[in-house]
Amino acid sequence: MKQADIVITTAKSAGFCFGVDRAVKLVYEALDAGKRVATLGPIVHNASVVNDLLERGARIISDVSELHDGETLIIRAHGVGRAVYEALDARGNEVIDATCPFVARIHRIVTEQTAAGRHILIAGDPTHPEIQGIVGHCTQNYTVFKDQTELKYLIDRTLPQRLALIAQTTYNKILWGECMKLLPSDDPDLLVFDTICNATAARQSDADALSKASDLMIVAGGRHSSNTVKLYDVCRRNCPTWHIEDPAELSALTAELCEAAQAALRAKPAESRILHIGITAGASTPAHIIKEVQTNMSEIIDTINTTPESEEFSFEAELEKSFRKIRKGDRVRGIVASISGNSEVMVDLGAKQTGYITLSELTTDTSKKPSDIVKVGDELDLVVIQVNDAEGTVQLSKRRVDELIGFETIKNAMESKEVLEGTVQSVVKGGLLASCNGVHVFIPASRSGLSRGADLSVLLKQNVRFIIVDVNEQRRRAVGSIRDVQFAERDAAKAKFWETAKVGDVFTGEVKSLTNYGAFVDLGGIDGMVHVSELSWSRIHQPSDVVAVGDTIEVFIKALNPETGRISLGHRRPEDNPWLKFLNGYHVGDVVEATVVSITAFGAFARITDGIDGLIHISQLSNERVANVKDVVSIGDTVTVKITAIDEEKKRISLSIRAVGEDAAEEEEQEAPVEAAEEVVYSDDAPAEAPAEDAAE
């Protein structure tokens, strides 16, 4: 067979997935940092990687109780159940959680759905560590099934009504499709979450397509690697397939492979005798293993005299081709794969490199954490600012893309006078810097909305609203004004007020300032005044006796003058008028308890109820002649009085102690004469001097 008659193709996606790559790197980083490292189970289903880590000092433990003091535990990409986290908390060892973000998402789903009362159906291998970790977040309320047969069995039997269905990240896509066909399409009590990882799905669909186009396939990866086993299952449906863990195994398979190759060629028409060999590898297979498979396959091809021309069969080149090239300055899209604490975001670019965004390249808003801005699974527009091929990392910036887009928004906002919102980041010379749409907007102190000389730092970290008054395109700088927004809003509020306000309207407003004659109240952008006499039914000396600046009070419009812009407000309400309350509750002839509140030469004022005082004329204090009021009563005394007169017009009340005594005497002695009532006075309008008739008496 001639060289040109053999074509070897590597699957587009093969080898380490993002989650495994990250986990392995974390172990190496911890070892490089001099930490004593233990992994909870092998970090990856690949003997060569695991052996290398063991040689460098890492330990593999199967239970948290095996941890040594001071050892750092690394949780592998499969994740663990809640109980393991609790045990680790109790032990206090340092923990590096390398749970793949896609697995962590499943943990969140099952936790939420279990809490929502759903029974969790899990498609996967119940013995696999990932499934054991997932069920550890389900609080017993779950069933694991392997395939559509087991699912049908479950569906035909009584299952709880409310179900949530998820899959192991490495579950076979084809089996998942079969399972979906068994489910009712419109059952609101059933929630389905497709949690099969894209890395797995991509490997499976690439492997499916490649194996359909190949005469034989080699699948490289650990025997215990679930996703490798599934790749093997997918491929062997389409063509003869061999699963190898170690490239050295290929030499033992030479005879089998030659035989399969010859059989495939014999089955082809003479004019199209080209042998297609496909190679794929599981997510836990490092790139060097794939290269070794290439080398060993070349030797086997030599053996069967079908050696391909080297330039046509460079596995390295094929592998490289399967990955996307990324260069500095490229605009790329990536998916947030994980968020590391407060410092950075890991991004899956669909490339062999790992993408990351530092906090300073994520946002200009220094008050925010990465998790305030993005969440796992978000798709982001990014720009590449650094590619490090040696480390396999790509530094990305979201901020710079946001700035470009944001500046356009800012320019448009200036034209349209749109009000923007931003957060004040810092106080700088002459003003403030606010972050808005990823752009720094300078707000001069004179446009901050604060009074001249005020402390600008009161606005730090505050959300503010402003319009853009100037932009400098070259320097990508914008100038904003909070004050203009405040003025515009105040004008709009005033216009609306004068359009709609009418006497009697009720407002709740803040007391903005006090004078001796009244309180100014903000009615929502416009101030009205409550005169001191309108603040209380009680006698007060100044507004501050009843309200303070900053108080929120209810007011109503008493009068409006659009020409002068004056708004007179009332605060005390008619229904609270103590005089009217008194008239409703008390009548001439009533005998009541009252408290002496002041004493004059002509009598004593006694309080009947709040704000209502009546006069007990000196002649009505006793049956005896009284020379001095103080001989009979003192301030604070409680006296029993009879209401002898109410002058509604003058708001005066006359009281008598003497009449109470006479009534009692009359009752006792069956005597009838009733003495005339003396003059009464309503406290607010009480005369400074005795009334004329009293004086005559």
- 3-state SS assignment for residue 358: strand
**In 249-259, which positions are buried (b, 16+ CB within 10 angstroms) versus exposed (e)?**
ebeeeeeebbe
C-alpha angle 157-163-166 in degrees, rounded to nearest 5:
105
d(CA 434, CA 98): 37
**Residue 144 C-beta: closest distance to ligand F3S, Å:** 17
Choose among 353, 326, 354: nearest CA to 340. 354
| Identity of the residue, 77 or 95, whose beta carbon is nearer to ligand F3S in the bound complex | 77
For residue 446, give every residue at least 6 positions away whose Cβ sits within 8 Å of its Cβ, in sequence order, or none.
431, 452, 483
Sites for ligand F3S among residues 510-539 (CB under 6 A): none
**Residue 11 lies near ligand F3S (rule: CB under 6 A):** no
Q: By the 8 A CB rule, do 192 and 180 touch?
A: yes
Sites for ligand F3S among residues 393-412 (CB under 6 A): none
Q: By the 8 A CB rule, do 27 and 43 touch?
A: yes
- With CB under 6 A as the contact rule, the residue among 6, 12, 13, 19 that binds ligand F3S is 19
Looking at 11-19, 410-418, 460-468, 593-601, which segment touches ligand F3S (CB under 6 A)? 11-19
**Encoded amino acid at 39, one letter:** T
- Per-residue x/- marks for ligand F3S, 224-263, CB under 6 A? ---x------------------------------------
Sites for ligand F3S among residues 91-120 (CB under 6 A): 100, 102-103
| Identity of the residue, 227 or 306, whose beta carbon is nearer to ligand F3S in the bound complex | 227
Residue 145's DSSP bridge partners are 123
Sites for ligand F3S among residues 292-321 (CB under 6 A): none
Q: Within 13 Å, how many C-alpha atoms sit on residue 199's CB side?
A: 29
**Residue 15 C-beta: closest distance to ligand F3S, Å:** 11
- With CB under 6 A as the contact rule, the residue among 6, 27, 44, 77 that binds ligand F3S is 77
**Residue 49 lies near ligand F3S (rule: CB under 6 A):** no
| Identity of the residue, 230 or 483, whose beta carbon is nearer to ligand F3S in the bound complex | 230
Using CB positions, name the residue nearest to ligand F3S.
19
End-to-end alpha-carbon separation of the chain, Å?
Answer: 146
- Give the sign of the dihedral formed by CA 598, CA 603, CA 608, CA 611: negative
d(CA 152, CA 167): 16
**Residue 19 C-beta: closest distance to ligand F3S, Å:** 2
Sites for ligand F3S among residues 267-286 (CB under 6 A): 283
- With CB under 6 A as the contact rule, the residue among 17, 109, 410, 532 that binds ligand F3S is 17
Could you say which of 55, 130, 593, 648 is catalytic? 130
**Residue 16 C-beta: closest distance to ligand F3S, Å:** 8
| Identity of the residue, 379 or 593, whose beta carbon is nearer to ligand F3S in the bound complex | 379
| Rg of the chain, C-alpha, whole Å | 44
d(CA 324, CA 13): 11
Q: How many residues bind ligand F3S (CB under 6 A)?
A: 15
| Identity of the residue, 380 or 660, whose beta carbon is nearer to ligand F3S in the bound complex | 380
Strand ranges across the sheet with 241-244:
6-10, 275-281, 216-220, 241-244
How are beta strands 344-348 and 275-281 bridged, if at all?
unpaired
Looking at 12-20, 295-303, 534-542, 685-693, which segment touches ligand F3S (CB under 6 A)? 12-20
Residue with tokens 């990250």: 22
Q: Residue 106: left (phi > 0), alpha (psi -120 to 50), or beta?
A: alpha
**Residue 379 C-beta: closest distance to ligand F3S, Å:** 16
- With CB under 6 A as the contact rule, the residue among 18, 313, 537, 682 that binds ligand F3S is 18
| Identity of the residue, 169 or 296, whose beta carbon is nearer to ligand F3S in the bound complex | 169
**Residue 130 C-beta: closest distance to ligand F3S, Å:** 8
**Residue 131 C-beta: closest distance to ligand F3S, Å:** 13
- Residue 97 phi/psi, 5-degree rounding, is -90, 105
Looking at 15-23, 41-49, 182-190, 400-408, which segment touches ligand F3S (CB under 6 A)? 15-23
**Residue 196 C-beta: closest distance to ligand F3S, Å:** 9
**Encoded amino acid at 182, one letter:** L
Residue with tokens 């997918």: 234
| Identity of the residue, 337 or 382, whose beta carbon is nearer to ligand F3S in the bound complex | 337
Sites for ligand F3S among residues 148-177 (CB under 6 A): 169-170
**Encoded amino acid at 70, one letter:** G
**In 537-559, which positions are buried (b, 16+ CB within 10 angstroms) versus exposed (e)?**
beeeeebbebbeeeeebebbbbe
**Residue 20 lies near ligand F3S (rule: CB under 6 A):** yes
Is 150 an annotated catalytic residue?
no
E-assigned strands of 300-419?
331-340, 344-348, 354-358, 379-388, 393-397
For residue 349, give every residue at least 6 positions away whose Cβ sits within 8 Å of its Cβ, in sequence order, or none.
324, 326, 332, 334, 355, 394
- Per-residue x/- marks for ligand F3S, 192-221, CB under 6 A? -----x-xx---------------------
**In 423-448, which positions are buried (b, 16+ CB within 10 angstroms) versus exposed (e)?**
bbbebeeebbbbbbbbbbbbbebebb
| Identity of the residue, 227 or 448, whose beta carbon is nearer to ligand F3S in the bound complex | 227
**Residue 475 C-beta: closest distance to ligand F3S, Å:** 43
- Per-residue x/- marks for ligand F3S, 24-43, CB under 6 A? --------------------
**Residue 388 C-beta: closest distance to ligand F3S, Å:** 21
**Residue 174 C-beta: closest distance to ligand F3S, Å:** 17
- Residue 570 phi/psi, 5-degree rounding, is -115, 150
| Identity of the residue, 226 or 363, whose beta carbon is nearer to ligand F3S in the bound complex | 226
Q: Which residues bind ligand F3S (CB under 6 A)?
A: 17-20, 77, 100, 102-103, 169-170, 197, 199-200, 227, 283
Which residues carry out catalysis? 130
